[in-house]
Structure 1
């Protein structure tokens, strides 16, 4: 996650109300249930000093949304008379609703979720094109679909090879192969455009063997480097969406473990060479000097001075990444530096 995405929040003068609405299964009375939940949360905020104008802004925003929109969870930040942040928050059911009132927003849970979210560009290929999905996976929850479309290749000739090896069929077979390659090139051109905007961490390739092979052969290096193939889904009418979802969750988990270990190794290497620091005060000092390239947080370990860390890093172009629990970062935070701090 690029913390600069939160800069507009910190540019506003505090204090701030931070509201987390946990995911709930939507029902016929979902809107009413959200209203009742918010009423209790509003009372709690008022008790700890939240202003009437901030509560009114949150009242209006929550009231504008249907209950179904909160089925996956929501995080909101408000200051003064404005709602400054209103985003999906894909936590596991059972964490409970939470509210905070303070001089800085309490965005630790939101930032960690964003850091562990895995964007997956999913391609379910057949010989004539592909179904292309833009999914975001967090933990063990079902993928959240950001977009989906069917891409058809430009080849209009049949792509089914003839049975048997008769020489009289060679020309037909060559045409089928060429059509398959042409369709694959068209799909890959589309994937390249989508990837430039969506910026997936993983490219998941599913579908028929021939179609997958044709697409794989056409992928540019930047997409090949992110490629994971699976046989757990296809475009057949009875293909299992649940099986594909399970596979996407598994792939995301492996990607997160790989990424966290890489971050931990990088932290050790860079610190040995004087290009990294750890500990809340040291990281805040580095951030205030604009020296933080990447803020590192230990998974499931709150960092010292966390709210200040986010504010300082959001004011620069710092990103945030996670390392595994148990790494033992001092104060739960570390930073890869652009340059040494004074």
Structure 2
């Protein structure tokens, strides 16, 4: 997941209140439940010193007409006295609970951790006439979020199915049918390439019927092919086919997240051996404040004290993020852009 959107959050003036409202099952009394949950969080924030303007901005965002959506999708909302600076669905695991934080920087550790477990995908459901293209954000644990969908088909209305009689006629029509399929696949590939250039997804997944998949794959650019995965599971024929398809996407997302975590752990080990990494809140804070950090690595599950300010400096210095299961001091480490001695020098 790309965290560039957070740059505009940190460009605002604090203090900030950060609210995480977990997603829960739909209920007839959703409005009552959300109001009660917000009342408790509001009281906690007020006790911590949050101004009335901040609390009003949060309340106006959470207590809305379509409040059932807030209940089922969850929310992360960050606000200061001027208004709401971040408002997104919060798809954390059920049982994570509601939390509220107040301070000079937003508390976005949980948001970043969840984002590191999300995989941006372009799903191409292909057939011989074209494809349905879905832009998705997929988690190994949660329902996929669809951000956009487009349908691409060729401009030719000719029948792609050749007759069975007449050898010469059959061969001619078969060649023409192959040309039409190729043209349709090329149109799909061009659209996918545009999306990849604009969105820079983690994966491009080709699904659908065999002939359609084969035709589309043959037309994809090198840039797209480097991101390519393929699945023969499911489809769009009915709900069962859709469920099978999205189960396959979750599996691909899980593989991607695990591979990225293994890569980050390996990079950390290598960097430590070459004096290109630091651990612990104090050293990471010092290094990131000087713009010396290439990647901040967070403990997979547990937040660390002071990480909110570290994440702010990391975003503003264009550092990346990752997760590690390794035992690191204070649950936080950093891979550096240059040697640790220089990064920590007084």
Same fold (TM over 0.5): yes
Asked whether 1:77 is paired with 2:85, we answer no
Q: 1:287 to 1:233 in 2, by over 3 A?
A: same
C-alpha offsets along residues 269-296 of structure 1, whole Å, 9 cap, x if unaligned? 2332333322222221111111112212
Output the CA distance in 2 between the equivalents of 1:146 and 1:197.
14
Output the CA distance in 2 between the equivalents of 1:299 and 1:82.
31
1:136–1:144: 8 Å Cα contact kept in structure 2? yes
C-alpha RMSD of the superposition:
2.1
Q: Which residue of 2 aligns with 1:329?
A: 328
Output the CA distance in 2 between the equivalents of 1:44 and 1:35.
14
Q: Which residue of 2 aligns with 1:276?
A: 277
1:77–1:85: 8 Å Cα contact kept in structure 2? yes
1:304–1:332: 8 Å Cα contact kept in structure 2? no
Asked whether 1:26 is paired with 2:26, we answer yes
Q: Which residue of 2 aligns with 1:233?
A: 234
Unaligned runs of 5+ in 2: none
2:235–2:242: 8 Å Cα contact kept in structure 1? no
Within-5 A mapping of 1:166-181: 166-181=167-182
Q: How many residues align?
A: 340
Q: Which residue of 1 aligns with 2:254?
A: 253
Q: 1:4 to 1:132 in 2, by over 3 A?
A: closer
Output the CA distance in 1 between the equivalents of 2:338 and 2:81.
37
Q: Which residue of 2 aligns with 1:62?
A: 62
Output the CA distance in 1 between the equivalents of 2:281 and 2:209.
51
Within-5 A mapping of 1:100-139: 100-139=101-140
2:130–2:188: 8 Å Cα contact kept in structure 1? yes
Q: Which residue of 2 aligns with 1:186?
A: 187
Output the CA distance in 1 between the equivalents of 2:134 and 2:264.
28
User: In terms of mean alpha carbon deviation, does 165-174 or 189-198 score higher?
Assistant: 165-174
Output the CA distance in 1 between the equivalents of 2:162 and 2:96.
54
2:234–2:243: 8 Å Cα contact kept in structure 1? no
Output the CA distance in 1 between the equivalents of 2:22 and 2:184.
43
Unaligned runs of 5+ in 1: none
Q: Which aligned segments of 4 or more residues in structure 1 are displaced greater than 4 angstroms?
A: 1-4, 161-165
Asked whether 1:148 is paired with 2:149, we answer yes
TM-score scaled to structure 1, two decimals?
Answer: 0.92
Corresponding residue SS for 1:217: helix
Output the CA distance in 1 between the equivalents of 2:334 and 2:314.
10
Output the CA distance in 1 between the equivalents of 2:75 and 2:39.
16
Q: 1:20 to 1:235 in 2, by over 3 A?
A: closer
Within-5 A mapping of 1:45-60: 45-60=45-60
User: In terms of mean alpha carbon deviation, does 273-282 or 144-153 score higher?
Assistant: 273-282
Q: 1:198 to 1:69 in 2, by over 3 A?
A: farther
Output the CA distance in 2 between the equivalents of 1:121 and 1:207.
14
Asked whether 1:244 is paired with 2:245, we answer yes
C-alpha offsets along residues 71-107 of structure 1, whole Å, 9 cap, x if unaligned? 2111111222422221111112222111122333221
TM-score scaled to structure 2, two decimals?
Answer: 0.91
Output the CA distance in 2 between the equivalents of 1:286 and 1:113.
24
Q: Which residue of 2 aligns with 1:211?
A: 212
1:129–1:153: 8 Å Cα contact kept in structure 2? yes
1:90–1:138: 8 Å Cα contact kept in structure 2? no
User: In terms of mean alpha carbon deviation, does 44-53 or 191-200 score higher?
Assistant: 44-53
Corresponding residue SS for 2:159: coil
Asked whether 1:92 is paired with 2:93, we answer yes
1:206–1:231: 8 Å Cα contact kept in structure 2? yes
Q: Which residue of 1 aligns with 2:338?
A: 339
Output the CA distance in 2 between the equivalents of 1:248 and 1:165.
44
Output the CA distance in 1 between the equivalents of 2:22 and 2:48.
21
1:156–1:179: 8 Å Cα contact kept in structure 2? no
Shift of 1:241: 1.3
